[in-house]
Amino acid sequence: MAVLELANISKHFGAIQAVNDVSFSLEAGQVVGLMGDNGAGKSTLVKMIAGNFRPSHGTMRLDGAELIMHRPVEARQHGIEIVHQDLALCNNLTAAANVFLGRELRRGFGPLRVLDYKTMYRRAGEIFRELKSETRPRDLVRQMSGGQRQAVAIARTMLSEAKIVLMDEPTAAISVRQVAEVLNLIRQLRDRGIAVVLISHRMPDVFTVADRVIVMRRGRKVADKPIALSSPEEVTGLITGAIEQV
């Protein structure tokens, strides 16, 4: 069954039609590569799923129930997690502090509640272990490599039982070795039964890790097919418009 279903979603800003009549569905445990040139409508589409914008037309359904969000925080409550392109990390805090940022664990009662460092370090450590990432919960993020920083950002999505993880250009600015690390992290998420949307410009990454590819051009969905039935050449053609639609 589909986790998330988008039906005839459109979004316009004034006269600009950013997303035009897009429908697709996400399955649990599936990685979907979302591709398209700058301005194709990828970001707008993702921001609607993330609760930043409300669609002008169309409906979204989460587990069959209609999904209406007013603020980004609500997405998280629905089990939709976002890994932002800039990762949204605080360099001056530890890895564990960043993982739990905005949802710190506390102990004690009533007004006398203090941060539960011990449990947060332990939980963060467990998540890094699950992700098979060499990231130490007590290290400051300032001193971390690009791959570790990704692991911290991804670890956030595993705090709660996320159903959908949206990743915005996770491999844009990191080294080759770290890209491999991040792709592994994505597989870890998939193996946990999470639906992953990978927004990327990098063709090799999408073809390595994704099960399905969706291509957007000028606000419209021009392709949605299993990765095995497509090729980088075809996707490039779809992105640039050399191939109209498949």
- Sole window of 134-142, 163-171, 174-182, 192-200 interacting with other proteins (rule: CB under 8 A): 134-142
Q: Does residue 177 bind other proteins (CB under 8 A)? A: no
If binding is defined by CB under 8 A, does position 118 make contact with other proteins?
A: no
DSSP state of 140: B
Tracing tokens 């209406």 back to the chain, one arrives at: 68
CB of 111 to other proteins, least distance (A): 10
Contact 169, 201 (CB under 8 A): yes
- What is the Cα–Cα distance from 206 to 41, expressed in whole angstroms? 18
Residue whose CB is less far from other proteins, 16 or 88 = 88
Burial of 91 per CB tally in 10 Å (0-12, 13-18, 19+): exposed
**C-alpha closest to that of 156 among 228, 80, 233:** 80
Nearer to other proteins, 79 or 137 (CB): 137
160 binds other proteins (CB under 8 A): no
137 binds other proteins (CB under 8 A): yes
Decide if residue 123 touches other proteins (CB under 8 A).
Answer: no
Separation CA 125–CA 119 (nearest Å): 10
Specify whether the CB–CB gap between 120 and 203 falls below 8 A. no
CB of 146 to other proteins, least distance (A): 16
Binding of other proteins at residue 242 (CB under 8 A)? no
* CA-based radius of gyration for the chain: 19
Q: Where are the alpha helices (DSSP H) in 25-175?
A: 42-49, 72-77, 95-99, 117-130, 146-157
Q: Extract the tokens encoding 78.
A: 């629905």
Does 125 bind other proteins (CB under 8 A)? Our answer is yes
166 binds other proteins (CB under 8 A): no
Q: Closest distance between other proteins and the C-beta of residue 129, in Å?
A: 6
Give residues 44-103 in contact with other proteins (rule: CB under 8 A). Answer: 72-73, 76, 82, 84, 86-93, 97, 101-103
Q: Count residues contacting other proteins (CB under 8 A)?
A: 35
d(CA 180, CA 120): 27
Place of tokens 């993880």: 165
Coil, strand, or helix at residue 112? strand
User: Which member of 114, 161, 176, 228 binds other proteins (CB under 8 A)?
Assistant: 114
| Interaction between residue 139 and other proteins (CB under 8 A) | yes
Binds other proteins by CB under 8 A, chosen from 8, 23, 143, 175? 143
Q: Please pick, from the candidates 20, 43, 44, 135, the single residue that binds other proteins as defined by CB under 8 A.
A: 135
172 binds other proteins (CB under 8 A): no
For the chain, the first-to-last Cα distance in angstroms comes to 24
Interacting residue ranges for other proteins, rule: CB under 8 A = 72-73, 76, 82, 84, 86-93, 97, 101-104, 106, 113-115, 125, 128-129, 132, 134-140, 143, 156
